[in-house]
Amino acid sequence: MEPKEFDKWAREAVEQREDRAQLEAGYADTLWKQVREHQPKTYVDFWRAAAIILLFLGAAMAWYSTGLHADQNALYAQLQQANRQLRELAIETTEAKAMEASPVLIPEKEIVLVHDTIVQEIVKERIVYIDQPVQTASPTINADSLIAIIEEQQAALEQLETYAQVDEPKAYMSSFNVVFDNQETQTTKATSPKKEGGLRLNVSLFNKK
């Protein structure tokens, strides 16, 4: 066979063979992974990275909420209990229940998140009655009881903040001014002064004389 004829024949034979070459699925996957591993970082899959970041955040939030630290667990349990007590005080009248059905949202500018999970819990618990009057038939509920619960929550939160070593911004509840109204309905208010970057809490109890 003439050289050029031989070359042509060999070329066609090789092309036939190579055009029909296929990799087995598993082998193709293995090679593809190696190609991806060697690619420059500019080709990183954005969604994969986002999924990894979200997983990490979710794991971090789960870690905080479930509490791998025993002390944090105890403090957070204390905070939750205080929240529940406050909520129970509010949910004693039909009006309170009506408010629960249509919660009032706190303006965003007043919310400063320190520790997402815990603060969201606090905010969620208080949404019903912030800046809204709450009527209760119980004569034993007074400002002192209310303040005691709030201060307990405040102390728990501050301890958590210290423990978590959270930097600014911080959410806190400071001391309260108690105002007694001498009108027909005795109004007990407990209001925390609004400090810069702080979470304002207003709770009012109307006690019928």
Residues at the site binding other proteins, with contacts judged by CB under 8 A:
1, 3, 6-7, 9-11, 13-14, 16-19, 21-23, 28, 31-32, 34-36, 38-40, 42-45, 48
In the complex, least distance from residue 52 CB atom to other proteins, rounded to whole angstroms: 14
Question: CB count, 10 Å around CB of 189?
Answer: 18
User: Which of 197, 111, 122 is closest to 153 using CA atoms?
Assistant: 122
User: In this complex, which beta carbon is closest to other proteins, that of residue 13 or of residue 148?
Assistant: 13
In the complex, least distance from residue 54 CB atom to other proteins, rounded to whole angstroms: 18
Q: Which two tokens stand for residue 89?
A: 């005080």
80/86 Cα distance (integer angstroms): 10
User: In this complex, which beta carbon is closest to other proteins, that of residue 22 or of residue 183?
Assistant: 22
126/183 Cα distance (integer angstroms): 26
User: In this complex, which beta carbon is closest to other proteins, that of residue 15 or of residue 131?
Assistant: 15
In the complex, least distance from residue 31 CB atom to other proteins, rounded to whole angstroms: 7
User: In this complex, which beta carbon is closest to other proteins, that of residue 7 or of residue 181?
Assistant: 7
Question: CB count, 10 Å around CB of 37?
Answer: 7
Contact assessment for residue 185 and residue 100, using Cβ atoms and an 8 Å cutoff: no
202 φ, ψ (degrees, to nearest 5): -125, 125
User: In this complex, which beta carbon is closest to other proteins, that of residue 19 or of residue 108?
Assistant: 19
126/103 Cα distance (integer angstroms): 9
